A and B are shown apart, each in its own frame.
Chain A
Amino acid sequence: MHISEGVLSAPVLVTGAGITATAVGYSLKKMEYKEVPKVAILSSVFFVASLIHLPLGPASVHLILNGIIGLLLGWSAFPAILVALVLQGILFQFGGITTLGINTLNMALPALVCFYLFQKVVHRKINLLTLILYFLCGFLAVFISAIMVAIALVFTGEPFIQVAKLIIIAHLPIMVLEGILTMFCIGFLKKVKPEILIITG
Chain B
Amino acid sequence: MKNKTILIWIFTGLIIFNIVFSAFAHKVNIFAYIEGDRVYTESYFNDGKKCGAAKIEVWDNQQNKLLEGLTDEEGLFSFILPSLELITGGLKIVLIASMGHKAEYIIAEEELGKFRELKEKESINPVTSISSEDSSGDLKEITHRLENSLDEKLAPLIQEIRELKKYQQEKISFTEIIGGLGYILGIFGLIAYFLSFKK
Contact indicator B198/A33 (Cβ below 8 Å): yes
Residue A141 lies at the interface, judged by CB distance under 8 Å to chain B? no
Chain A residues near B187: list those with CB within 8 A. Answer: 40, 83
Contact indicator A53/B195 (Cβ below 8 Å): no
Q: Which of A49-90 contact B (CB under 8 A)?
A: 49-53, 55, 59-62, 79, 83-84, 87-88
Interface residue range, chain B: 35 or more
Chain B binding surface, main DSSP class: helix
Q: Which of B1-42 contact A (CB under 8 A)?
A: 2-4, 6-8, 10-11, 14-15, 17-18, 21, 23-28
Complex CA gap A36/B187 in Å reads: 10
Residue B126 lies at the interface, judged by CB distance under 8 Å to chain A? no
Contact indicator A44/B11 (Cβ below 8 Å): yes
Instruction: Give B188 Cβ to nearest chain A Cβ, in Å.
Output: 3
Complex CA gap A6/B18 in Å reads: 29
Q: Which of A6-48 contact B (CB under 8 A)?
A: 6-8, 28, 31-33, 36-45, 47-48
Contact indicator A43/B99 (Cβ below 8 Å): no
- Nearest B residue to A88 via CB reads B180
Contact indicator A48/B47 (Cβ below 8 Å): no
The stretch among B100-108, B141-149, B155-163 that forms the contact with chain A is B100-108
Measured CB to CB, the residues of A under 8 A from B are 1-8, 28, 31-33, 36-45, 47-53, 55, 59-62, 79, 83-84, 87-88, 91-94, 149, 152-153, 163, 166-167, 170, 185, 188-189, 192-193, 195-196
28 CB-based A-B contacts, threshold 8 Å = A2-B27, A3-B100, A4-B102, A7-B100, A28-B191, A31-B195, A33-B195, A33-B198, A37-B4, A37-B192, A38-B3, A39-B191, A40-B189, A41-B11, A47-B184, A48-B181, A49-B14, A51-B172, A53-B23, A53-B46, A59-B49, A60-B26, A60-B49, A83-B183, A84-B184, A92-B25, A166-B99, A192-B2
Measured CB to CB, the residues of B under 8 A from A are 2-4, 6-8, 10-11, 14-15, 17-18, 21, 23-28, 45-47, 49, 96, 98-103, 172, 176-177, 179-181, 183-185, 187-189, 191-192, 195-196, 198
